Structure formats: structure tokens, C-alpha cells
Amino acid sequence: MDNVHGYYQTTSASILSPGTFLHCNQEVGHLKKEIRSYDAPKQDNIGVEDKIKEERAGVPGMTKLDELAYKMALKTTIDPMGIFKRLRVVKTGGKLDGNKEFILWLLYVNQYRTKRGGRFWFSDDKLFDLLRKTKSEEELVTLFQSLRQYQDIKYITDDMQAYMILSSASSHRLVNEAWLKSRETPEKVFNILRLGAEALFSLDSSPLFIQWLRYIIMYRAVVGSDSFTDLQTLDFLLERSRLSTTTSFGTLIQSFKDIPDLEIYRNLKAYTMYFAEHRGGADLLDKVNTMFDNNDPYAAITAASKA
């Protein structure tokens, strides 16, 4: 195994690039020999080879030789940071967007985490800080949006977009512009920001959730006022609330009144009655209005949500 590690040290400048491997037949032969010796014990890598082949199929231009280098790096669990600094595209200051070498590195990060036992190995924080030191905000926004087309790294790139939303006002604006340009729907952005993974009662304190609500307003301004309307927004949240309690949903809606630029959510009673009228007509509207008069907003929300 020392030979494998030593070989990596001499070729790590392009461990994920076939160009250097093809420079010297002797070195390629040495690599293949090491890979064959690595392939012998399969027990520690059940499913890894299938995953590599699956990911390889999703990266344009990825070759069998790339796959071999990828497997060798995984075998020796080389730190992604060391590989990144030696990527040709990084050393030359080239564009990461659409670069096969960089995409392969992200796939390696995925598998490195799996092999080491979790996402805290080379964490999202560390990944974001590394990329932010390498490229400008504008370049990163374009990069992360374009990488969403690769299913096997979409989880990472979605996380990176969430980090950008919170990192600064300027990067937040750039991410919103990229989403709007791609016509990302509010439903899709909700998933990108992993808001579905949060408990409903915690959304009112989530800065990402507040940004999602603001994105809806921008989305309507670009696509049309009838796109993801207030009623559709409430429907969407009510559907999620079925996994939690009506009280949690009421608390969530009520909390919107403290957000100055989200005027539509400032009055729980008016919004719930608006919803009740559209869903159940005059009878439900009267019922909900009576509940509010009796100072029972959660009962009113329950009645409206069951319409």
C-alpha cells in the first residue's frame, strides 16, 4: 500500500485527469498493477464499484482510466483537500463550471464521506470555504446552478446554494437571480434549501425559510402574479402541516407578522378567512369567523385546513 500512496504523491497533480496517466505507458502499467492488487479484497468496498460505475455514466467524458484513479484514491482515503489543490483546473485558475476534472473530484468527495462514515468528514463548511477562496461569488453561483444537472452531486450543490444564501446579501441576490433565470419554482427552491427536512414548528426561526418566502414574491414578479399565489402557498404549507400539529402551523403563520416586508402574512385572521372562503365558500367563512371571534385561532385554522 505504501507503493500506492507513493505513486499518488508523484501523480497527484492530475490524479483525476487521464492526461498525465497517458503520458507514460510504464506509469499506466504500474497504476493498473496497483489497481489489480487493490481489487483483490472486495469485502471492504461492497457496492462502491457499482456506485462508481453509476456515477461515471453521469459524467460526460469520464473514462475507465478515470474510474481506476478514482478507485485508487478511495482505497487510500486520500484527503479531498490535497487532491483539489493539485487539480490542473485549479492550478491554472481555469473555469470549474463544466470541468470534468472538478466534477469527478466532487464525486470523490461523496464517496470519501461514505467510506469514512459520514458527511462530517470533509464537511460542507470546509467545502464551501475552500471553493469561496478559489472563485468569486458570481462564478460560484453559476457553478452551483449548473452542477445541479448531475444527480449524484446535486445534494452537495444544493447545500452550497443554501450556504450562499446565508453568506452575504450580495451572494443571496446572485443566487436568487440564478434561480429566477432558470425558472426554479418555489416548490423546487423549498427542496433545494432542505426546508422539508425541518420540523414545521422550527420554520418560523429559520432564516432560509424567510428567504424562501421572499423568493416567492420575486418569482411572481418575474413569472406572473398568478404563479404560486398566496392560496397556493398556504396550501403548500398546510400540506406539510399534516406531518405536524395544527398549533405548530398557527404559530408559524402568526410569526410572519414580525417580518416587515412580508405584508401578506401579517394578519392571520384575514389570511385564514381568505383561504376558508376560497376553499369552503360562505358557510365555512362564517364558521371560521366565529372561531376567531371566540379567540380560538387554532380551531379556525383547523377548520380551514380540513376544507
- Residue 48's pLDDT band (cuts 50, 70, 90): very low
**Would you list the domain boundaries of the chain?**
1-118, 123-182
- Residue 52's pLDDT band (cuts 50, 70, 90): very low
Using CA atoms, how far apart are residues 71 and 49, in angstroms rounded to an integer?
A: 8
DSSP secondary structure string for all residues of 237-262:
HHHHHTTS-HHHHHHHHHHGGG-TT-
- Residue 105's pLDDT band (cuts 50, 70, 90): very high
The reported pLDDT for the residue numbered 251 is 66
- Residue 73's pLDDT band (cuts 50, 70, 90): confident
Helices (H), 137-267: 137-147, 154-167, 169-181, 186-192, 207-223, 230-241, 246-255
Residues 6+ apart with CB under 8 A from 184: 192
- Residue 8's pLDDT band (cuts 50, 70, 90): very low
Return the beta strands (E) in 44-101 as ranges: none
pLDDT at 45 over 60: no
Contact criterion met (CB below 8 Å) for 130 and 84: yes
Position with higher pLDDT, 115 vs 76? 115
pTM attached to this predicted model: 0.68
pLDDT at 97 over 50: yes
Read off the pLDDT of residues 241-282 as tens digits, 9 standing for 90 and up. 654 555 566 666 666 666 767 765 555 677 778 778 887 888
Q: Which three cell numbers stand for residue 235?
A: 396550501
Residue carrying the nine cell digits 499518488: 8
Read off the pLDDT of residues 128-147 as tens digits, 9 standing for 90 and up. 999 999 999 999 999 999 99
